[in-house]
Amino acid sequence: MPVIIDNVAVSEAHGDAEAAVAGEPAVTSSHQPTLAGLDRSALKSKLADLGVPERQQRMRVNQLWSWIYVRGATSFDEMTDISKSLRTDLARAYTLDRPQIVSEQVSVDGTRKWLLRLTQQGHERSAPEIEAVYIPEADRGTLCISSQVGCTLNCSFCHTGTQRLVRNLEAEEIVGQVLLARDRIGDWPEADGPDDGGLIPSSERKITNVVLMGMGEPLYNADNVARAMQVVSDSDGISLSKRRITLSTSGIVPEIGRWGEEVGSMLAISLHAVRDDLRNELVPINKRWPIAELLNACRHYPGVSNARRITFEYVMLKGVNDSTSDAKQLVRLLAGIPSKINLIPFNPWPGTRYECSDWAQIERFAEIVNRAGYASPVRTPRGRDILAACGQLKSQSEKLSARARAISGAADDTAADTA
């Protein structure tokens, strides 16, 4: 996915500087299961497995909760209000590990990208890898997290769609990405930020928003994603408001209403085309749930209002979906749905048959959308020097061709010149 945020100046991202690779982050490996990322009921059953009496379990869960999610504890030793013998038992059976960092890259614009290794499950031949990306701005920070390893859907312009799905992420692996990002950027009380000079926002909290826009289709792993978001939004823990969590979906219509009822985060829809024939090609799940059904689910999304708009993502593909008549049709289609529109410059990857629209064409398209009352719809890609587009890290480690780098760089220059 492209890492995108509201219009911001990106000129500092276009120097000659190569992406900095941060100093070796500590990695751990262990066969004991982690408690970091679990919800209350899972923590309770882990305590029960250790023989903690039923009458104590609730209190112990609350203690663990506060250590893990308020203070960011990474060892049981820190938990001074828990008896030494229970701490010893906990440390023998469990860890507080986060996903393991394989690499951390810091863009010249401060965007940080982690390649993360998950714990290998019984049937897996190797430990699967996922990505998470942090996008800082002056006064807020957005964390983009993954919900699956790869994706079963095959959107033709998305690199993740070319990767084989290995599996759904467990709820704790989804929460683990948030914990790990908070560790790395010092987003715990009294924690120090990184010393690599990367931008960290001045806001009290360094992660102010979470977007489910990394690898995978979150509504195909809805139960685990929902459990994870309940942990992340719990007001006695990380306490990130549901209004600051955005789930992006390619349009799994039957799950949209349920997600709204049960979790009620903000919603983003990967629309990308205004006609079914084209959307069938770009986002093939459209053959199952076509545009009219998708928009109907959006109209009925619980809590949707002018104050809680649905975001429609629209990737700008040269000569494919970027005509001014597409723009007019887009505006007509969304009439009556409280919406925002994000025009996303296509982020090319090696082997793709698409190109990003010319900047002049993006502007013409944006102008029509603007005139219809949608403000500042073009999102600025961030972290392109580190290919901070989820699903693209592995292609980088496979060494991008010079041509692909040139395309990526050229797209950035265009964006910088006209932003």
Say which residues have a Cβ less than 8 Å from residue 295's Cβ, sequence separation at least 6.
333, 334, 337
**95 bridge partner residues:** 34
Q: Tell me the window of 7-15, 150-158, 237-245, 322-330 that interacts with ligand SF4 (CB under 6 A).
A: 150-158
Distance in angstroms (rounded) separating the CA atoms of residues 164 and 150: 6
Closest separation between CB of residue 306 and ligand SAH, Å? 23
Q: Quick check: 13 and 3 in contact, CB under 8 A?
A: no
Q: Quick check: 327 and 368 in contact, CB under 8 A?
A: yes
Which tokens is 417 given?
């010149």
Distance in angstroms (rounded) separating the CA atoms of residues 181 and 373: 36
Closest separation between CB of residue 211 and ligand SF4, Å? 12
| 115: contact with ligand SAH by CB under 6 A | no
Q: Quick check: 104 and 184 in contact, CB under 8 A?
A: yes
| 315: contact with ligand SAH by CB under 6 A | yes
Judged by beta carbon, residue 133 or residue 153, the one nearer ligand SF4 is: 153
| 115: contact with ligand SF4 by CB under 6 A | no
Among 107, 221, 224, 270, binds ligand SAH (CB under 6 A): 270
Among 161, 201, 377, 383, binds ligand SF4 (CB under 6 A): 161
Partner from ligand SF4, ligand SAH, none binding residue 346, C-beta < 5-8 Å depending on class: ligand SAH
| 249: contact with ligand SAH by CB under 6 A | yes
Q: Quick check: 310 and 269 in contact, CB under 8 A?
A: yes
| 412: contact with ligand SAH by CB under 6 A | no
Buried b / exposed e across 260-294, counting CB within 10 Å, b at 16+? beebbbbbbbbbbbbeeebbbbbbebbeebebeeb
* CA 18, 24, 30, 35 torsion-angle sign: negative
Among 221, 246, 347, 357, binds ligand SAH (CB under 6 A): 347
| 289: contact with ligand SAH by CB under 6 A | no
Distance in angstroms (rounded) separating the CA atoms of residues 392 and 214: 10
- Hey, which residues are catalytic here? 131, 390
Closest separation between CB of residue 303 and ligand SF4, Å? 23
Judged by beta carbon, residue 71 or residue 167, the one nearer ligand SF4 is: 167
**Residue 361, burial from CB neighbour count under 10 angstroms (0-12, 13-18, 19+):** middle
Closest separation between CB of residue 37 and ligand SAH, Å? 20
Judged by beta carbon, residue 103 or residue 250, the one nearer ligand SAH is: 250
Closest separation between CB of residue 154 and ligand SF4, Å? 6
| 270: contact with ligand SF4 by CB under 6 A | yes
**Residues numbered 202-221 forming contacts with ligand SF4, rule: CB under 6 A:** 216-217
Q: Which residue's entry shows tokens 């507080």?
A: 96
Under the rule (CB under 6 A), what is the footprint of ligand SAH? 1-2, 155, 157-159, 213, 217, 248-250, 270, 313, 315, 344, 346-347, 349, 389
Which residues contact ligand SF4 (rule: CB under 6 A)? 151, 153-155, 158, 160-161, 216-217, 250, 270
